[in-house]
Structure 1
């Protein structure tokens, strides 16, 4: 994860994007990219362009990770905590 963080942060720094990053702008970008991802499934569930879907999924992940780094939170930590919370609310099936 550290290597990925370095790659994303350096990429954004070299383009001057860090200065325009705010929590609100990053959240908006996540939603916009998620909507673009959803467009690939708008009229059909099983017939989609995997490369195009992966491109949009990458955009969602990049913006999401960028927001984590901007806020100074570790993505692994917040995901782990969220999964613990969800596990409490939704126990395993037996």
Structure 2
């Protein structure tokens, strides 16, 4: 299913079964190659940080306006999509190795953010909440 995105593009609606399938496929991929011994939390988090850096490099020198339109250029879009895929792979693998339900963790963070940033106080503002439990 798709919906209109903030910048007028169509966005994909993910589903949990796709994430569960990805977790199992990544686990099997590592097992088949005997890579699970290398997939420590330290190594996976370092690899994740590296991939986030590669994604950032694709957007680093763009203006805000250019960054919004990045997916309109097929070559640039392919590079951004590939880097986001790499980020997702390492994030999903890290959460699996640590035994973290990725959807539950994100849902908890979203609930915390909703509490810290009530609509009536934060609508249209990018200011960070100044509370002891910010993060």
Larger helix proportion, structure 1 or 2?
Answer: 1
How far apart, CA to CA, are the structure 1 residues paired with 2:78 and 2:33? 25
Aligned-pair distance for 1:5? 1.1
CA deviation vs aligned residue, 1:62-83 (integer Å, no higher than 9, x gap): 1001011001111111011111
Quote how far apart the aligned CAs of 1:16 are.
2.1
Give the distance between the partners of 1:7 and 1:34, measured in 2 at CA: 22
Query: Bigger shift: 45-54 or 30-39?
Result: 45-54
The 2-side partners of 1:15 and 1:38 are apart by 29
DSSP-derived class of the 1:10 partner: helix
Matched residue of 1:39: which SS? helix
Please, what is the CA RMSD of the aligned residues? Answer: 1.5
Given the two structures, how large is their TM-score scaled by the length of structure 2? 0.64
Deviation at residue 15 of structure 1 after TM alignment: 2.1
- 1:6 is displaced (CA, Å) by 1.0
User: How far off its partner does 1:42 sit?
Assistant: 2.0
Higher relative contact order (CA 8 A, sep 6+): 1
Asked whether 1:10 is paired with 2:28, we answer yes
Count of matched residue pairs: 94
Q: Counterpart of 1:20 in 2: which secondary structure? A: coil
Greater strand content: 2
Tell me whether 1:64 sits opposite 2:91 in the alignment.
Answer: yes
| Structure 2 gap segments, 5+ residues each | 1-18, 71-75, 124-135
More moved, 44-53 vs 58-67? 44-53
Q: Which runs of 4+ in 1 moved over 2 A?
A: none
Structure 1 residue 25 corresponds to structure 2 residue 52? no
Cα deviation for residue 50 of structure 1 reads 0.7
1:44 is matched with: 62
